[in-house]
Amino acid sequence: MVKKLPKVDAVIVGSGWAGGIAAAELTKAGHNVVILERGRDKKHEDFVGTKDELRYSKRYDLMQDLNKETITSRNSMDKEALPVRNNAQARLGNNTGGAGVHWNGMTFRWLPYDFEIYSKTVERYGKEKIPKNSTMQDWGITYDELEPYYDTYEKTAGISGEENPIGPPRSDKYPTPPMKDTPNIRLFKKATTDLGYHPYHMPSANLSQTYTNPDGETINGCVYCAFCEEYGCDFGAKADPIGTVLKTATKTGKLELRNEANVTRVSHNGKRATGLVYTDTTTGQEFEQPVDIVVLAGFVFTNTKLLLVSKIGEPYNPKTGQGIIGKNFTGHFNNLSTYIGARGFFEDKKFNNFMGTGALGATIDDFSGDNEDHTDLNYLHGYEVHYGQLGTRPIANYQVPEGTPLWGKEFKKQSLKYFNRNLFITAQSGFLPNKTTYMDLDPKYKDALGNPLLRVTVTYDKQDIERAKAGVARCAEIMKEMGADTMNVDVVQDDTAFDHKFYTDHFFGGAIMGESPDNSAVNTYSQMWDMENLFVVGGSSFPHNSNYNPTGTIGAFAYRAAEGMNKYLKSGGLLTQAELKDNA
């Protein structure tokens, strides 16, 4: 039997960056907020002494338990989807702080082109440049309109960075200086400069110095221990929701964070959301939390599944093109591993590869978005090429040149020799939406609570393959300029197909935003067109993927959404930018 609880102002699914930002801004405005987090409670002190590569990088201790909740996947609509049970290519967040706890910290801004991709593509190249299978569209917002929210997020997280020489305009500098320079980074910067490109330090949430943000929360300076991705930071030197927005919200006395609360559906009357139904996974008791506003701030899969199971919005139908929920699923193209590119081996150079941190490195934007002229290219959008010195932990790093035996005495000899004599450059490419890449409910498989699993269908267009090929070729060009004696260069085959696994750790879509309910699920304040007191925040609302990591853009839109939530709780109704300005 479902137990009904006392009503609150707002209830939020998920305690990651999106949910934490919403909670901080709502509680600072005086609203009573409940966060429902399906994972365990975690604090920074829980990560002391946890630099255990086997436990965290191989057994994914901080990640979602795929035996209880996963997706099914397939690479064609005419095939049966199968459950994905390997977390190797997707570090899905669980526990307090979500994926914002174990992320690397790369914090890019997306390009003006990304937010107006359809109109800018047509303006420059004509409609004929857009593939027939494409479903790309403008977002209903411009970079200039989003820029103040980028600035707010970067100051909350204390992002360390340097000016991008060919980047979009900024209203202010990064709040902290860039991370340290290293011989590895200098080698990449020199090579790309000599080739005529424009390198700069990657913007990083691993802070270069101790910093206190506008809410009064202090983030420590990074000590370059090399345990960022897949790990919580015991030193508090990586900006995360635990040490920033959740801490801020907790100080107000207006936040209640309930762990091990697995949300199963949104309760509603067809016009308004009335609350969230969830199961306490420690007792099995089912609860309903009544509210004034509901905020879905989980991962893409969680948000989309909740909308579909709750029968909110019209599910996308790839055969007719009708419906929105589940449409425009995208990630980063990948056929081999999380990143593809070129690895160089050096006979006479050694590097301190064991030292590093999640977002230490340099990148170039010369081929990002539409920075390169695509008139004579067979793909749209681009790729961001970077070298990252994450720190090579011992179990997973045994790189050897092609032709080396992969077992035995010679393998051991060469892997030891090249442990500090190899560097890797990757090209992270965009992946544009198409009609037959989408999400819906699986008709066969169910989760541990008996609800349908989310089914993901992924098909690659020819341009996705060509874009990835171009990125890998650029990596090889740069690695050669860096002076590598030999190289292992990843190969992207012409017949590359999605291979039934998580193919990246960045996913988007399912409840996309736009300027009209005709082509979107939410407006640019992440508010559902069909249900005005329901907000869907995070990568779910992104109509396509850029070639950059998404966290900075998720943070920016979360601040914009929180602004809209506070306005809605004050006045009600669907939000427009003009209304928010008038009531500021």
Supply the residues annotated as catalytic. 506
CA separation, residue 401 to residues 343, 350, 418, 488 (Å): 9, 16, 9, 6
Element (H, E) at 331: none
Q: Please name which of 405, 384, 358 lies closest in space to residue 57, comparing C-alpha atoms.
A: 358
Q: Please name which of 575, 571, 561, 534 lies closest in space to residue 271, comparing C-alpha atoms.
A: 534
Q: Please name which of 184, 459, 469 lies closest in space to residue 340, comparing C-alpha atoms.
A: 469
Contacts (Cβ under 8 Å, ≥6 apart) of 559 = 21, 25, 149, 152, 153
Contacts (Cβ under 8 Å, ≥6 apart) of 152 = 556, 559
DSSP 348: S
286 exposed, middle or buried (CB, 10 Å; 0-12, 13-18, 19+)?
Answer: middle
The C-alpha atoms of residue 501 and residue 450 are separated, in whole angstroms, by 23
Position 201, amino acid: H
Cα angle for residues 66, 71, 76 (degrees, 5° grid) = 140
The C-alpha atoms of residue 16 and residue 303 are separated, in whole angstroms, by 13
Cα angle for residues 8, 13, 14 (degrees, 5° grid) = 125
Token representation of residue 365: 């934007």
The C-alpha atoms of residue 139 and residue 45 are separated, in whole angstroms, by 40
Q: Please name which of 219, 174, 198, 202 lies closest in space to residue 360, comparing C-alpha atoms.
A: 202
Element (H, E) at 284: none
Contacts (Cβ under 8 Å, ≥6 apart) of 251 = none
Sheet-wide strand order for 452-457: 82-83, 71-74, 452-457, 438-446
Q: Where are the alpha helices (DSSP H) in 315-450?
A: 409-418
Residue 536 pairs in a beta bridge with: 296
Contacts (Cβ under 8 Å, ≥6 apart) of 563 = 25, 525, 580
Q: Are 308 and 443 in contact (CB under 8 A)?
A: no
CA separation, residue 100 to residues 71, 230, 349, 555 (Å): 21, 10, 35, 11
Cα atoms found within 13 Å of the Cα of residue 433, Cβ hemisphere only = 26
Token representation of residue 321: 């093109």
The C-alpha atoms of residue 265 and residue 444 are separated, in whole angstroms, by 19
Task: Give Cα 226 to chain centroid, integer Å.
Answer: 21
Q: Are 293 and 132 in contact (CB under 8 A)?
A: no
